[in-house]
Amino acid sequence: MKKTVLIACSVALALHAEVFELGQVEVVSKLVGGSQKSDTNVVVVDSEQMQKNQVKRLSEVAYMTPGVYVDKKGPRAEQNFYVRGFDARRVPLFIDGIPVYNPYDGNSDFGRFTTFDLSRIDISKGSSSVLYGANTMGGAINLISKKPTKEFESSIGYGVELGKSSKTIGNNIDYSIGTRQELFYVQAGLSFMEDNGQQLSSDFVKDAKGNEDGNRREKSVQRDRKVHIKAGFTPNQTDEYAITYVNQKGEKEQPPYAGKYPKDKIADRFWDWPMWDKESVYWLSHTEFGKLYLNTKAFYDTYKNDLNSYKDKIYTKKTFGSHYKDYSYGFGLELGGDIADNNTLKFATSYKFDEHKEHDDGEPVQTYQDKTYTFGLENTYRFSDMTRLILGISYDTRDAIKAQEYGKPLSGGKNRLFDFEVGKRHSFNYQAAIKHSFNGMDELSLSYAKKTYFPSMKERYSERFGRNTPNPFLKPEIANHYELGYARSFGDTLRLEGSIFYSKVKDAIGNVMLKNKTRQAQNVDKAEYKGFELGATYFATDSLEIGGNYSYISAKYKNKNEKIYDLPKHKAFAYIDFKILPKFSVYASEEFVSSRYSGSYEDTKLNGFGLTHVKFIYKPTENLSIDAGVSNLFDKNYEYREGFPEEGRVFFSNIKYKF
């Protein structure tokens, strides 16, 4: 009975729409009752969890997710996260299985990706499927969109938030409409999100440089708009063909450094990004031929970014402007089927072309181009209904086609446009996992994976404002992942899960000081990441749910006595969801993050912190939901990156209506 209630609630909160199955890459286990939950190495965050935890930007999912750690690029106003210690370059971003990370540096500012049009987020840790393609050394993140289920469905939502300063008001609005007919479906949505300023905690102390005086954070405005359109053709019960268009337009200001080191060069950096625009169109299909199936994909993606730098905190005298104009295109196919009653084989191949163009004001345009090829094979052998073995291998090639720079060549001379030498790099990856259930209500998983990462264009070629000497021939990084996981459900009342992991990285990219007093990226580092994660969900009654998770990680270099920054050893999340009345409930959550080191003018140990959030939810009808609450209830003053304080107490309210 409890499971039925939970599934019905999830469907209602998802506003009719179901998971867009063409966008799935990995299939996670299902518990009794058919509700999808996480495998031990794949975290599934559905739309219900996103709504309850105020996850309106992708970056915010890290707060509640085991093994996922917030990564705030303070000096760049970027919001990303680490997955078991691996950053966003090594855990690339996909939308419906299509790669959307930026060609130049391999990053994606997760703060620019809003979640209103998503059905769920899959975060694969460590041994992610070889079907994703190249560069998933630390895992993969897949944003799966929605698909309509009814002849007509529509929803509209509005949210507002405000700190103690009236100048910190933020708004968001989203609208979606869709139809599902016998032979086709159409889904469209749009959203707008605006933060007019970050509210600082009352405990914030004025910084040493005088860049920040408190209350409303200086230069902290960000705006994001998104349009999402999908059309699909379903000629029969098994086949599906869909095309999707996504247009994102963003702009963000960069809050200045507000820390305790006035001599830090970052203290005199005054930047903003008036344009962060991304546009994608992609095709996905699924066709069955008896026991075989064929999936195809094709995509074209563009990215435009402008950066302005100013002389001082008045932001009137511009010192330089930097302009990016990138595009990617590619295609792929996956062929699979049962080669025996207990044996499934999948073959996947893909091609991706990346071009990055950049120039500063007054400079000629510099062009960088890469091609990436990948071939993968995945086999699932079922010894019985309770035991299965999953094997995967892949071969990847990164072919650098062109790389230009404006400045002084390595051979010397005056500033000019010149070409770097380029070449190919290859990698071979393999992995294995065995999964066993003792009673149909649990799963034991043991896995190993050898994964690689091709260095980005930025790591190979960037001079980093004259501080670095480029290294076009960086080798791939290599990671070996080991994991043991176990999850069990005790009826419909309790679910427990846990995992132990160890990752060893060699040929990691580190900076080496050269005789010319510049640094160069070289494959000199070795690192290891080890830890464990625990999680529990308890359905005490039909009206009360309690849950949480805990993560521990130890990260260190094996070849040098330097710290790995921004990773707390301890991280925890807990929540209580209590339906006080049939139409009224309260949801409260607590985050805990231990101390960690931040790279600044000096290595700085940041204090740990705990944050409390409370939300009250009222559903007068099945079609209408109203909530109000407060985040950071006790107005804690805290940082993820030294010199960049986070938001204090903020009040919020949301209303959502479905037609």
Between CA 127 and CA 111 the distance in angstroms is 25
Vertex 102 angle, CA 96 and 105, to 5°: 140
Entry field: residues in the chain:
659
Vertex 260 angle, CA 257 and 266, to 5°: 35
Question: What is the distance, to the nearest Å, from the Cα of residue 141 to the centroid of all Cα atoms in its chain?
Answer: 5
**Contact present, 632 and 647 (Cβ < 8 Å):** yes
pLDDT at 201 (0 to 100):
97
332: part of which helix (H) or strand (E)? Answer: strand 318-340
pLDDT at 641 (0 to 100):
94
Q: Answer yes or no: is pLDDT of 168 > 80.
A: yes
Rg (CA), the chain: 24
Q: Answer yes or no: is pLDDT of 174 > 60.
A: yes
In our burial notation (b when 16+ CB lie closer than 10 A, e otherwise), range 80-94 reads: bbbbbbbbbbbbbbb
Q: Strands 139-147 and 93-95, how do they pair?
A: parallel
Name which residue leads in pLDDT, 28 or 73: 73
Q: Which whole-number Å values give the CA distances from 584 to 7, 42, 539, 626, 627, in the listed order?
A: 18, 32, 18, 10, 10
pLDDT at 409 (0 to 100):
77
pLDDT at 30 (0 to 100):
52
Between CA 3 and CA 33 the distance in angstroms is 7
The residues near 205 (Cβ < 8 Å, ≥ 6 apart) are none
Q: Answer yes or no: is pLDDT of 12 > 70.
A: no
Q: Return the sign of the alpha-carbon dihedral for residues 643, 646, 649, 653.
A: positive
Vertex 324 angle, CA 225 and 366, to 5°: 165
The model's pLDDT over 41-80, given as tens digits with 9 standing for 90+, comes to 889 999 999 999 999 999 999 999 999 999 988 888 899 9
pLDDT at 414 (0 to 100):
85
Which residues sit opposite 390 in a β-bridge?
Answer: 380, 433
2: part of which helix (H) or strand (E)? Answer: helix 2-13
Q: Answer yes or no: is pLDDT of 31 > 60.
A: no
Of the chain, the end-to-end C-alpha distance in Å amounts to 27
Q: What is the DSSP letter of 456?
A: P
The model's pLDDT over 196-221, given as tens digits with 9 standing for 90+, comes to 999 999 999 988 889 999 999 999 99
| pTM across the whole model | 0.94
Question: What is the distance, to the nearest Å, from the Cα of residue 203 to the centroid of all Cα atoms in its chain?
Answer: 31
**Contact present, 441 and 423 (Cβ < 8 Å):** no
pLDDT at 17 (0 to 100):
58
Q: Answer yes or no: is pLDDT of 465 > 90.
A: no
The model's pLDDT over 476-515, given as tens digits with 9 standing for 90+, comes to 999 999 999 999 999 999 999 999 999 999 999 998 888 8
Q: Using pLDDT thresholds of 50, 70 and 90, give the confidence band for residue 655.
A: very high
**Contact present, 497 and 448 (Cβ < 8 Å):** no
Name which residue leads in pLDDT, 36 or 459: 459
Between CA 616 and CA 581 the distance in angstroms is 12
